[in-house]
Structure 1
Amino acid sequence: MRAVVWLRVAAVLMVLFAIGHTYGFLSFRPHAAEGRAVWDAMNNVHFSESGSTISYGEFYRGFGLSISASQIFVAWLTWMLASMVGRGSTDVRTIAWGLFVLQCVGLWLSLRYFGAGPAVLSAVAAACFLMGAVSLRRSAA
């Protein structure tokens, strides 16, 4: 399969990852009483920082949404990289390898902290970036 196809598939996976991430962290509600107590405290206890009054729950949502925005950016970047392949850009290979490494880190973090679902998606995305980078290497030789 050509590098363009691998990178386009990776871009679509990144969009799906962003959608799943956003839905997952915005809809998560703990079932156990202890988890609900922590959740309530995160959302009901407010503090002032740098002139703003926020809760840890709002802090959590802000970080989560910034991660979703970054995932959408990676999807866009990957789509643009696939377009650059057709124009013969040699820098695409280096960026594809960087995105592969990023997904490997995401895979490790998913296995460590988030579970099988995100880990599988990270592994498949990493494989697409790997295959895209390897395909670019072959075509550049």
Structure 2
Amino acid sequence: MKSSTLLRVAAVISLLFCALHMSGAPWTPAQGPGEMAVIDAMKSHHFDAVGPSRTYWDFYVGFGVIIDLYQLLQAVVLWQLAALAKTDALRVRPIVVTFLMASIINAALSWKFFFAVPLILNVVIALCLGWAVMAAGKRAQDS
């Protein structure tokens, strides 16, 4: 399979990851009184955050939205790299390797701190990116 196709697959999976993460907002499995007590505590305790008054809930939601933005950005950049890979796959390899390393690290962090869905999505993205890197190298050797 061509590296450009694999990058497009990784881009679509990244976009799916973004959509799934956004659909889970506010990312809280609040089902019982214990969970609600934690959420209420996160929302109620204000502290100085280098100027403005914030809560842990503010940070929790803010970081969740930032993750959505970066997943969307990753999808867009991978799609753009796929277009570049059609004409010069070898030149996009270093950028793809950077995304590959990030996906591997994200998979490890998902395994340690989260659950199966982000782990699986990161592994599939990493596999597509790794395959794209190899395909780009093979294409360069064939030329």
Is the pair's TM-score, using the shorter chain for normalization, greater than 0.5?
Answer: yes
Letter in 2 for 1:102: A
Q: Percent identity?
A: 31
Structure 1 position 27, deviation (Å) = 4.6
**AA at the equivalent of 1:132:** A
Deviation for aligned residue 1:25 = 4.0
User: After the TM superposition, which of the residue ranges 118-127 and 15-24 deviates more from structure 2?
Assistant: 15-24
Of the structure 1 ranges 80-89 and 100-109, higher mean CA displacement relative to structure 2 is found in 80-89
* TM-score, length-scaled by structure 1: 0.91
Distance, in Å, in 1 between the alignment partners of 2:96 and 2:43 is 39
Q: Which amino acid aligns with 1:113?
A: F
Aligned partner of residue 47 in structure 1, secondary structure: strand
- The whole-number CA distance in structure 2 between the counterparts of 1:92 and 1:18 is 23
TM score, norm. by length of structure 2: 0.90
1:48 maps to amino acid: D
Q: CA RMSD in A?
A: 1.5
Partner of 1:66: 66
Secondary structure at 1:137 match in 2: helix
Deviation at 1:4, TM superposition (A): 0.8
Q: Deviations over 1:100-136 (max 9, x none)?
A: 1111111111111111111111111111111111100
The 5 A counterparts of 1:2-21 are 2-21=2-21
Q: In structure 2, the residue corresponding to 1:42 is in which secondary structure?
A: helix
Aligned residues: 141
Written as runs of structure 1 = structure 2, the 5 A alignment for 1:1-141 is: 1-88=1-88, 90-141=90-141
Distance in 1 (CA, whole Å) between partners of 2:66 and 2:21 is 11
Q: CA deviation at 1:89?
A: 5.4
Runs of 5+ consecutive residues of structure 2 not aligned to the other structure: none
1:91 deviates by 2.4
